[in-house]
Structure 1
């Protein structure tokens, strides 16, 4: 009797529901997969590239402002997506944090697996040893003693050996995985120490004239880059006065114009009531003051000028920092005299330490000051109300200014040597070139986790070397007695990194340790 199956009513049967917990587990498995960590590492390297091509506000704020002024739409877009502060942008921080979580999620389970592997016994010999990449066969007269000799030899070669009846299982190379884990742990430490340095670190630069001083507060810095968790009250109180600067250039054809050495001599007062001490700063020889490293980044020239306005009053007198433009220290700069009356004055041009004028125009032919000259253009304009808004002291905004012109209608060009002066047209004032001095650019920085970062890098290199040079290997020896006759012996091995390398030589050495004088070898 055949009974018809009842009709199914409703929808087709479904599998178990994929709930929120399942989704979280699936996302966690994907995030902690090694392929995800590698992808995030590559993505982080890719995301860091714009920081090398786009000026960063923490390092070159004036260039950022100039970029935005020259490219208003593109600059506004870059600013909106954090392209001017790549390494502190939300998207770069997200990649960094995900990479850190992914690495930790990869490493922790592997540490547990490795710990269990250390406690585990060497695996039993496969049934068919002749199928392994390395295999040798022979005979011995006494199987138990042969196995004892082989065991002694393998232990001497730092194998972990376990004897099971008529066979030996030996394994070595556990340090390879340990080196791999050490490398990945060190990578996590590098990420953590870099994060600590970024969040609590500080770096600022200041151009200081020779004979002038620097006090460690924000008003003395030209630009500052500080971590999000850095506080200004963490700046230690100290002063640095630059007493002198010595630079020597090569004069022979092979080193002509090349700086052979330069050194800044300073006087340091590390805090209120502390006695002053003398210290020198050279390239790769920074000065350390209460946890702050002071590096000598660069140097340049500062022409000393005196500007007198139309009323005979001195509107400005002193050195003005000019920025070097090439290896011969052709230096560009701006002299602003906002207090001149009845018209404010401004000058823009070049200081040439060893000046010459040819078809290419004025230029310097040597970095040392053998024949210094000052080449300037001049502007004047009505006084303006000071707004308190800071402006770039190295750039001239010509808005509201009119350039002085010569009798032929061309822009007025001044050429002055030390000790010379020039009277501006229509009695507008006078500028004199009184001499020159030097300035040095010093960087003051604190990297809280620098020592830890260096140790983590050393640990990573050590772990990488161990993982590359240690070869995990397994060897099995089987000796089966055949009655009163010789015992058949098999020696087989497996190189666990995928290559034979010297496995055959090692197996031959194990087989030789098995043999006695009466043994007969055969392949």
Structure 2
């Protein structure tokens, strides 16, 4: 931390004699480039600037908490929806990188400046602390009565000065003081003790650990990656970047060199609150995914159980269970009975309470119009896990419970041009036509309800062009993959921050002095003085000084003050 004198030196050290311009003004010489750099470095490495940068970093992180971010940990469509709703400020904030806060230029600049500032603060203080550790305690002052804590007594026990100094040295060493001993010209002697050196060490450990946290975040951002993958029961997944549903790679990650492990979801089990009278009826209680994995294509398969707070670690990648839902299974046949889509599960994502989800099926050339021309077939659906038996007026799709005990699928059909690549979870129906399916539940909203009951799981397409069959339902689970090479560094740094705070706040820097000299000329009695000095306010200093003094005083001591 630069002192005011040091900060002034950068501007005044090279000042030349003042020149009188005749107007009463004083012209000072300009700083050279080296002097300007030295002044800027002193400003940047001052504790005041470090605190300002830390405050700015906390302010810069606020938009990352309030606005949706383009990252693998959030739904990427949230940013698009937010910008669409705020047509004035949305594009401006996007241009200013407010939707990628932690990768933005301005956030990274503050981060880097804070890192440099902390390093510049820590290195000089560390060197000064090393020099202090090598220095012995100072000699005892001549007048101990001026100290904040003072204790004295007369010793008439007949003990020698050397005996009393030896006892004082032993007492201070027992209390973990660093001790030096000396003699006075009048025949007396003194003992000086100091402890609390670790207070500054705790302060340095705290700041070094804070730097470790910053380094850890930088390492994670550059060498780490996050990804999402959705797996249906019975399906598998190979850890290849092209199979990710969403991902975020650091600049130092090669997508072609991610750990080549495989994962298969066997059975997913979800439990919910079954008590109808409970306020949290139907809320999730526990999620469990039984998986089989292999660390490499040639390694043997192993079984594991993944829960929300119990991830699977494979070759440095943590696999977290983050979400789940249902995948209704359908079969689409043409007019000849040939299966165009054969027993195909499609993930439906939550869109309502009690596990109600929505999703789409897209079948390329899955519908033939009355002229025999093939067209795309799009099915937009709502899945109801526990169908009450009818659509509730005014509420639409309602489920009685999240468990798929009586599943139903509500489908609407579209034909026409759905685009060459309409996307995975969205469907463009702007150039398509809605098809009125037989037995629609609402003539104004042509949709049909399919259940797994006999005779109610099949619907015919118009003009005898085919059928749609609801075959069943499987569950899907979403796994978040996280590779973080900085976990151990951040963990150790977090422990260091706590230890450093405890040390800097709990340890007191104290000095205790003991002086022994003859009470008066020609007398055998000794005068013993004990005094203490603390670096800062220390309510226990007086108690420690008195404790040392009482330990040295004989049982029948003289007057006490």
TM-score (norm 1): 0.89
With 352-361 and 180-189 compared, the bigger mean Cα shift is at: 352-361
Instruction: Please report how far the alpha carbon of residue 225 of structure 1 lies from its aligned counterpart in structure 2 after TM superposition.
Output: 0.8
Change over 3 Å in CA distance of 1:427–1:71 after alignment to 2: farther
Q: Secondary structure at 2:366's aligned position in 1?
A: coil
Could you list the per-position Cα deviations for residues 230-254 of structure 1 after superposition, in whole angstroms to 9, with x for gaps in the alignment?
1112212232222222233343465
Aligned to 1:4: none
Aligned to 1:495: 534
- RMSD of aligned residue pairs (Cα, Å): 2.8
Aligned to 2:150: 135
Instruction: Please report how far the alpha carbon of residue 171 of structure 1 lies from its aligned counterpart in structure 2 after TM superposition.
Output: 0.8
**Distance in 1 separating the partners of 2:132 and 2:20:** 53
Could you list the per-position Cα deviations for residues 148-185 of structure 1 after superposition, in whole angstroms to 9, with x for gaps in the alignment?
32222111111112223233321101111111111211
Out of 426, 429, 433, which is 1:398 matched to?
429
User: Contact 2:228–2:480 (CA<8 Å) still a contact in 1?
Assistant: yes
Change over 3 Å in CA distance of 1:428–1:57 after alignment to 2: farther
Within 5 Å, give how 1:48-127 maps onto structure 2: 48-59=61-72, 60-126=75-141
Aligned to 1:160: 178
1:280 matched to 2:305: yes
Q: Secondary structure at 2:397's aligned position in 1?
A: strand
Q: Secondary structure at 1:178's aligned position in 2?
A: helix
Could you list the per-position Cα deviations for residues 292-341 of structure 1 after superposition, in whole angstroms to 9, with x for gaps in the alignment?
22221121101112334678665534111011245621212222334223
Aligned to 2:460: 423
Instruction: Please report how far the alpha carbon of residue 484 of structure 1 lies from its aligned counterpart in structure 2 after TM superposition.
Output: 3.0
Out of 207, 220, 237, which is 2:243 matched to?
220
Q: Secondary structure at 1:67's aligned position in 2?
A: helix
Instruction: Please report how far the alpha carbon of residue 438 of structure 1 lies from its aligned counterpart in structure 2 after TM superposition.
Output: 0.6
Aligned to 2:387: 355
Out of 2, 14, 24, which is 2:37 matched to?
24
User: Contact 2:418–2:432 (CA<8 Å) still a contact in 1?
Assistant: no
With 150-159 and 465-474 compared, the bigger mean Cα shift is at: 465-474
Instruction: Please report how far the alpha carbon of residue 105 of structure 1 lies from its aligned counterpart in structure 2 after TM superposition.
Output: 0.6
Within 5 Å, give how 1:260-299 maps onto structure 2: 260-299=285-324
Aligned to 2:6: none
User: Contact 2:229–2:243 (CA<8 Å) still a contact in 1?
Assistant: yes
Aligned to 1:513: 551
Q: Secondary structure at 2:193's aligned position in 1?
A: strand
**Distance in 1 separating the partners of 2:431 and 2:352:** 31
**Distance in 2 separating the partners of 1:491 and 1:403:** 97
Could you list the per-position Cα deviations for residues 100-119 of structure 1 after superposition, in whole angstroms to 9, with x for gaps in the alignment?
11111111001111011111
Change over 3 Å in CA distance of 1:159–1:326 after alignment to 2: farther
Change over 3 Å in CA distance of 1:62–1:128 after alignment to 2: same
Could you list the per-position Cα deviations for residues 408-430 of structure 1 after superposition, in whole angstroms to 9, with x for gaps in the alignment?
86121322212522335565754
**Distance in 2 separating the partners of 1:211 and 1:113:** 64
Instruction: Please report how far the alpha carbon of residue 377 of structure 1 lies from its aligned counterpart in structure 2 after TM superposition.
Output: 3.4
With 33-42 and 319-328 compared, the bigger mean Cα shift is at: 319-328
**Distance in 1 separating the partners of 2:435 and 2:145:** 97
**Distance in 2 separating the partners of 1:436 and 1:407:** 22
Out of 355, 363, 368, which is 1:329 matched to?
355
Q: Secondary structure at 2:234's aligned position in 1?
A: coil
Give unmatched runs, 5+ long, in structure 2: 1-18, 184-188, 369-374
**Distance in 1 separating the partners of 2:20 and 2:352:** 87
Within 5 Å, give how 1:345-494 maps onto structure 2: 345-356=377-388, 357-358=391-392, 360-380=395-415, 382-383=416-417, 386=420, 388=421, 391=423, 393-404=424-435, 410-419=444-453, 420-424=457-461, 430-481=467-518, 482-485=520-523, 486-494=525-533
Change over 3 Å in CA distance of 1:27–1:399 after alignment to 2: same
Q: Secondary structure at 1:363's aligned position in 2?
A: coil
**Distance in 2 separating the partners of 1:119 and 1:158:** 16
Aligned to 2:11: none
Within 5 Å, give how 1:203-242 maps onto structure 2: 203-242=226-265
Aligned to 2:332: 307
User: Contact 2:417–2:431 (CA<8 Å) still a contact in 1?
Assistant: no
Give unmatched runs, 5+ long, in structure 1: 1-6
Change over 3 Å in CA distance of 1:395–1:479 after alignment to 2: same
Aligned to 1:3: none
With 399-408 and 172-181 compared, the bigger mean Cα shift is at: 399-408
User: Contact 1:292–1:446 (CA<8 Å) still a contact in 2?
Assistant: yes
